[in-house]
A and B are shown apart, each in its own frame.
Chain A
Amino acid sequence: MTAFELQFRPSATLIQVVRRFVFDFYEGVLDDPDTVARVALATHELLENAVKYSLDGATELSLGIEEGEGGTREVALRLRNRAAASDVEALTALFAEMDQYPDPYAHYQAAMERGARRRTGSGLGIVRVRAEGEMCMKCSVEGDKVLIEARTQVEPRREA
């Protein structure tokens, strides 16, 4: 089992610390620098999302190597926090939009076109995680509790 969980109130400074830790940790576990960089990027983007939209700041981050469908091995990244109803609605709409774009990069380009004219927020974070991070993304909501899961397939070098 190679997994860890952090419960904390992320700040910009702490996110940088966690991104570097995740990078260093998985560099020691996986024989795949590209996957390591993608997981670190996804961790950073999802934590920044939590800073912007968490109701109380509290965030649970868990990362682990798990068995995926068909016996593949995957890095699973999960982020839980509480969010305001309007942010939950926007997040749900974004995940629904993903279904309209089977090609993550087409979605990314559409989000960039939209983002170029946005005054606040980039609207790119989660879309970037899916495209650049090559992650399968899921979102589930229970009341004001949001769980975002991002998974990517890997070939692990060894178990820690």
Chain B
Amino acid sequence: MSAIALPAVTVPELKAEAVHEGEILVLCLTGTADMRASEALERVLAQVHTEAQRLGVAQVRVDLRALEFMNSSCLKAFVTWISNVRDAPGEQRYSIHFMSRPEILWQRRSLHALRCFAVDLITVES
């Protein structure tokens, strides 16, 4: 398992870490993703996309189990990323798997909405 270098997230409320192993890249988000974090999250997701395509992974797993809250600007960062994956040529496309916690109730609704946005790409685990 090797760590992926991500753009620095200078917002203390949000922590982002990524690792790569075989055909899987895992992005782990911890804390709160609100208006302070949206630009940093956009950069993180852009880098994850670049690395996922460079490494030729089959799946990116996004671990949200320790993410207390995500606002609409950060949700939009995910929408842009998912849209970029969806629009990529077949060989550069990968699936996205969200790992969530049922007790964090916004996650169920937000991830349902994201899954509807790209139903062929996204799976959700709770």
Q: Which residues of A contact B (CB under 8 A)?
A: 12, 15-16, 19, 33-34, 37-38, 41, 44-45, 48, 51-52, 105, 108-109, 112-113, 115-118, 121-125, 128, 131-132
Contacts and interface: CB of A to CB of B under 8 A. Distances in A.
A128 B72 contact: yes
A116 B80 contact: yes
A16 B110 contact: no
Contact of A122 (B32, B36, B69, B76): B76
A131 B113 contact: yes
Pairs of residues from A and B, 6 with the lowest C-beta to C-beta distance, nearest first: A122-B76, A37-B105, A116-B83, A124-B72, A132-B109, A125-B72
Nearest to A134: B109
Interface in B54-97: 69, 71-73, 75-76, 79-80, 82-83
- Name the prevailing secondary structure of the A interface residues: helix
Interface of B: 13, 32, 34-36, 38, 69, 71-73, 75-76, 79-80, 82-83, 105-106, 109-110, 113, 116-117
A59 to B, nearest CB: 14
Given A45-B71, A125-B72, A16 B32 contact: yes
Contacts of A33: 105
A32 B35 CA distance: 27
Nearest to B75: A124
Contacts of A132: 106, 109-110, 113
A48 B79 contact: no
A124 B34 contact: no
Contacts of A105: 113, 116
B76 A16 contact: no
A133 to B, nearest CB: 8
A122 B72 contact: yes
